[in-house]
Chain A
Amino acid sequence: MQTVIDAHNVSKVYNADTIPVYAVNNVHLHLQKGEFTALVGPSGSGKTTLLNLIGGLDKPDSGNIIINGVDITTLSANELINFRLKNIGFVFQSFNLIPVLTAKENAEFILQLQKVHRKERIKRIEALFKQIGLSDKLNERPAKLSGGQQQRVAVARALASRPQFVLADEPTANLDSRSASNLLDIMARLNKEEGITFLFSTHDQRVIDRARRVITLVDGQISNDTAAVPVTHEAPVSTEKS
């Protein structure tokens, strides 16, 4: 099984000079390809900070984060941008689509940054929109889409570049239960059929229930990590907590 994320002794300290606050404290985390993992914990437990560290959006004060064999803690800011573009897909809580672009253009945007040829871009985007069930909304602006539809476009954007894994920060937080369930179905199916690795930070019980692995953070430390269930592409997607 291929290790996608390998974090060793990762710590992030705020106010290091005065009263140090450990947002993430000596965390060890290993994620295999194809995992569908939820990072849970109370507010302030360090979920988003850990997600930011793994996503290369922030630098740890100590420890190493190795993604696909590359220690991202040693990369410069510019190298990190490039690394994120090629290896990590992001889904944010508030969708964060570019309002002036259509749904298709939003998803295509990442591919334009990657300088993917137009024909290949169209092929990929059309396939992705079919998978997320929005083939009829390709040319709609975000403002014309519902919250659930916008988040599905955000998933399409995250997946367009064929990343090593997708980091989703509270992806269902702004959605009603039907849209959230719909979104989770899509992500679970992509995980099952395409073997795409997902790591969520969430409070949402519906996400936790669908996750194969649940990592609980308390005060910046992993307090519980349910046994990682080996994933095979044939395995049915569990709707129960593992």
Chain B
Amino acid sequence: MWLIKLAWKNIWRNRSRTLITMAAIFFAVILSVLTSSLQDGVFDNLVKNMVSFYSGYIQVHKKGYWDEQVLDNSFEASYKMEQSVLTDHNITAISPRLESFALASSAAITKGCLVVGISPEEENKITRLKEKITEGAYLQENDPGILLSEGLSKRLQLYLHDTIILIGQGYQGATAAGKYPVNGILKFGSPELNDKALFMTLPLAQDFYGAYNRLTSYVMALKDNSSLQKTSASIIDAGIGREYEVMTWEEMMPDVVQHIKTDTASSRIIQGILYLLICFGIFGTLLMMMVERKFEIGMLVAIGMKKIKLILLLLIESVITVVSGCLLGIIASMPVVWYLNRHPISLSGETAKIYERFGFEPVFPASTETIHFITQGLIVLMIGLVLSLYPMVKVIRVRPVLAMKR
């Protein structure tokens, strides 16, 4: 107890030194938490943008559909499955789709396109399709018209209220043909979708392909992407049956995963440099302390204080200083992260336009996940405690005669 009392008094003996050490740790934690939460927030936003283009977070298909995307690999719509999947609280929306290819024609031009049959209201919850309308109106339930992507519209020279002719192969080899009015024009960030997508209501698509009551996928939106794997497993556990496959966006878009991995690696290097700076900051104050207290340490050993007690004394001093700095840093970083989550850093000018052109929001929000505060707080704490070993090593090596030389 007296050792703790002495450590506490020692901490406040040189207020400025203690405050410098605590400030080094305090700012280190804030910087570290900010870097980590911004990085994660940006990736979360990227994923949110990517999945809202088209794929959703999770899709359920008939087994084998992802490898061979044909109508014969469709499955019968199941209201029961939709309801059982929705019991997972992380799933915020589920939308049925029937997708296939067809030839789209205007008077003189024909082009291959992706025909997607959707439930307009449910689809909008996942891909915010309504926001992508640049001309015309969004689909209503049982709407006889279609939505045409901007690129395809230009290529076919078909505009609002024109009629498009579709020809393709329907379910089980049937011939699919139909003509539909263009209800609206959509603009996608993704050039691939912008050049070939065509949306109609699900009943209309099922009728066109002769695939009555059939779907190619259920697409889902999630509340929290960090629970992606858990949610995917819960869908399987819900007993949807072995004939289905459940795929996450990570499995459907491995290139995005790879991009995040590469970007994470470079962020790690930046974070490593930050940790290195933190090390120098803390180590500088420790060096200063040891120079200042060298004589005192030599004297304490001379009068009979065991080195292990002296080490314990310094350890208590370090733990109090480092832990306080970390806790204060975590507390102070909370409102900053919260603010950056609510008011993300926004890009402006040409850069923002480029982001928007590709369908990305030009913002860098911070992630408010608790894990950032805990992990970064612990990392800085560990750095502080490991560096505190330096004074202890000096104590082990101290020779009172040399230490007390003026």
Of all chain B residues, which has the CB nearest A58? B401
Question: Of B2, B305, B401, B406, which is within 8 A of A52 by CB?
Answer: B401
Residues of B within 8 A of A99 (CB): 13
Task: State which residues 382-406 of B face A: CB under 8 Å.
Answer: 399-401, 404, 406
Residues of B within 8 A of A52 (CB): 401
Inter-chain contact B301/A98, CB cutoff 8 Å: no
Q: Would you call A84 an interface residue if the criterion is a C-beta within 8 Å of the partner chain's C-beta atoms?
A: yes
Q: How far is the CA of A67 from the CA of B299 in the complex (A)?
A: 21
CA distance A99 to B299 in the complex (A): 13
List B residues 300-355 near A (Cβ within 8 Å): 300-307, 309
Are A82 and B9 in contact (CB-based, < 8 A)?
no
Question: Are A81 and B299 closer than 8 Å at their CB atoms?
Answer: no
The residue on A at minimum CB distance from B299 is A96
A78 x B306 contact (CB < 8 A): yes
Q: Is A81 a contact of B301 with CB atoms below 8 Å?
A: yes
- Known A96-B296, A99-B13, A100-B9: A57·B303 in contact at CB below 8 Å: no
Q: How far is the CB of A83 from chain B (nearest CB, A)?
A: 8
The interface bits of chain B over 1-19 (1 if a CB of A lies within 8 angstroms of the residue's CB, else 0) are 0100010011011000000
Taking a contact as CB atoms under 8 Å apart, the answer to whether B400 and A57 are in contact is: yes
B299-A82 in contact (CB<8A): no
A47 on the interface (CB 8 Å rule)?
A: no
The answer to whether A237 has its CB under 8 Å from any CB of chain B is no
* Contact of A81 with B296 at beta-carbon distance under 8 Å, contacts A100-B6, A100-B13, A112-B2 already known: no
Q: Which residues of A contact B275 (CB under 8 A)?
A: none
CB distance from A1 to the nearest CB of B (A): 27
When A96-B295, A98-B296 are in contact, do A81 and B304 touch as well, CB less than 8 Å? yes
Q: Is the interface of B mostly helix, strand, loop or mixed?
A: helix
Residues of A within 8 A of B401 (CB): 52, 57-58
CB-CB nearest in chain B for A96: B299
CA distance A186 to B310 in the complex (A): 32
The residue among B9, B13, B302, B401 with the most chain A CB atoms within 10 A of its own CB is B302
How far is A158 from B401 in the complex, measured between Cα atoms in Å?
A: 18
Instruction: Give the residues in chain A near B2, CB-CB below 8 Å.
Output: 112
Which A-chain residue is minimally distant from B300 (CB atoms)? A98
**Complex interface: chain A residues within 8 A of B406 (CB):** 94
Q: Is A60 an interface residue (CB 8 A)?
A: no
Q: Which residues from 95 to 130 on chain A have a C-beta closer than 8 Å to any C-beta of chain B?
A: 96, 98-101, 110, 112-114
Judge if A157 is at the interface, Cβ distance under 8 Å.
yes
From residue A165, how far is it (CB to closest CB) to chain B in Å? Answer: 14
Least Cβ distance of A174 to chain B in Å? 12
B216 to chain A, nearest CB (A): 76
Q: Which of A82, A94, A100 contacts B306 (CB 8 A)?
A: A82
Name the residue of chain A whose CB is nearest to the CB of B12.
A100
Complex: how many Å from CA A113 to CA B306? 8
- Give Cα A112 to B303, complex, Å: 12
Residue A92 at the chain B interface, CB threshold 8 Å = yes
CB contacts (< 8 Å) of B306 on chain A: these are 78, 81-82, 113
In the bound assembly, the distance between CA atoms of A101 and B401 in angstroms comes to 24
Q: Which residues from B are CB-within-8-Å of A112?
A: 2
Q: How far is the CA of A92 from the CA of B302 in the complex (A)?
A: 10
Which of the residues B9, B303, B399 comes within 8 Å of A101, measured between beta carbons? B9
**B10: A residues at CB distance < 8 A:** 100
User: Which residues of chain A come closer than 8 Å to B307, judged between CB atoms?
Assistant: 78, 81
Closest to B1 in A: A112
Kindly list chain B residues whose C-beta atoms are within 8 Å of the C-beta of A58.
399, 401
- B399 cross-chain contacts in A, Cβ below 8 A: 58
Whole-angstrom distance between the Cβ of B129 and the nearest chain A Cβ = 69
CB-CB < 8 A to A86: which residues of B? 304
The one of B9, B13, B304, B404 in contact with A110, judged by C-beta atoms closer than 8 angstroms, is B304
- Interfacial chain B residues near A85, Cβ < 8 Å: 303-305
Interface centre among B2, B9, B300, B400, by most A CB within 10 Å? B400
Query: Which residues of B in the span 357-371 have a Cβ within 8 Å of any Cβ on A?
Result: none
For residue A200, CB closer than 8 A to chain B, the reply is no
Q: A52-B401, A58-B401, A99-B13 are in contact. Are A110 and B6 (CB under 8 A)?
A: no
Distance from A40 Cβ to chain B, minimum over Cβ atoms (Å): 21
Inter-subunit contact A84/B6 (CB<8 Å): no
- A110: B residues at CB distance < 8 A: 303-304
Asked whether A90 and B303 contact (CB < 8 A) given A100-B6, A100-B10, the answer is yes
Complex A-B: 23 CB contacts under 8 Å: A52-B401, A57-B302, A57-B400, A58-B399, A58-B401, A81-B304, A84-B303, A85-B303, A85-B304, A85-B305, A86-B304, A90-B303, A92-B299, A92-B404, A96-B299, A98-B6, A98-B296, A100-B6, A100-B9, A100-B12, A100-B13, A110-B304, A158-B303
Please give the residue numbers on chain B whose beta carbons come within 8 Å of chain A beta carbons, in ascending order.
2, 6, 9-10, 12-13, 295-296, 299-307, 309, 399-401, 404, 406
Known contacts A84-B304, A90-B302, A92-B404; 18 additional CB pairs below 8 A are A52-B401, A55-B302, A57-B302, A57-B400, A78-B306, A81-B301, A81-B306, A81-B307, A84-B302, A86-B304, A92-B299, A98-B6, A100-B6, A101-B6, A110-B303, A113-B305, A157-B303, A158-B303
A-to-B contact residues, CB < 8 Å: 52, 55, 57-58, 78, 81-82, 84-86, 88, 90, 92, 94, 96, 98-101, 110, 112-114, 157-158, 161
List the 9 closest A-B pairs by CB distance, nearest first: A85-B304, A100-B9, A96-B299, A84-B304, A58-B401, A100-B13, A57-B401, A57-B400, A112-B2
